[in-house]
Amino acid sequence: MARRYDPDRRQRIVDAAVRVVTEHGIAGLTHRAVAAAADVPLGSTTYHFAGRDELLAAALERMNDAWLADLAERLAHHSEVPTAERLARYVAHSLGPGRAETELCYELYFAGLRHPSLRPLSSRVLEGVAELLRPLVPDPVAARLLTAAFDGLLIQLLLSGDAYDERAAVALFERVLAGPLPATRTGSSPAGDTR
């Protein structure tokens, strides 16, 4: 029997890996589960991905790309809205209609703690966010600070379950965008003391 030509098989396997992780978490990701979800023979998954970590990496990369594309589209969509407000709206979306995707992204993101091979992909998504923010902020340092604030706020809200206060988020992002506070002098001598 001739082998069936299937140029999209690897792509379907990656899509299936994302579905398996979405439905069953990282613990449920196996070659067998992915093969069943992709409707391919088990040997196809092991041919394209030698180990489970390679499947995880492919799923993480797919989710990162989708997440960054969505963020880029949303940041560009309302260019007349201040950056702090656009980011706060994206956090609201990520915790509301986009929550399932956000949780999955962070589950895969934190998988790098136990799977060192995934760490470069986790770092790459943060670099991707900073790249998207660079045109909107005064300098690269501000872009990294804003990325850290954005990422940290999402993590805190996902883990705590606290209600999201969009106005407080806008204030947080505005504060980061404003730059450093002026230095204050502590322990200075009273005026006129020239000792």
177, pLDDT greater than 70? yes
pLDDT of residue 183: 67
- For the whole prediction, is pTM greater than 0.85? no
The single-letter code of the amino acid at 37 is A
In this structure, are residues 38 and 16 in contact, taking their beta carbons and an 8 Å threshold?
yes
pLDDT tens digit string along 38-80? 999 999 999 999 888 899 899 889 988 998 999 999 888 878 8
pLDDT tens digit string along 80-103? 899 999 999 999 999 999 998 898
pLDDT of residue 111: 86
CA dihedral 46, 51, 56, 58 (to 10 degrees): -50
174, pLDDT greater than 90? yes
pLDDT class for 2, splitting at 50, 70, 90? very low
More confident residue, 77 or 128: 128
pLDDT of residue 4: 60
Would you list the DSSP string of 182-195? PP---SPPPTT---
- Closest C-alpha among 110, 94, 101, 98 to residue 154: 94
- Spatial separation of the C-alpha atoms in residues 50 and 74, rounded to whole Å: 36
pLDDT of residue 86: 93
> Distance of CA 144 to CAs 16, 35, 50, 166, Å?
33, 39, 35, 21
As given in the structure block, the two tokens for residue 108 are: 């895969």
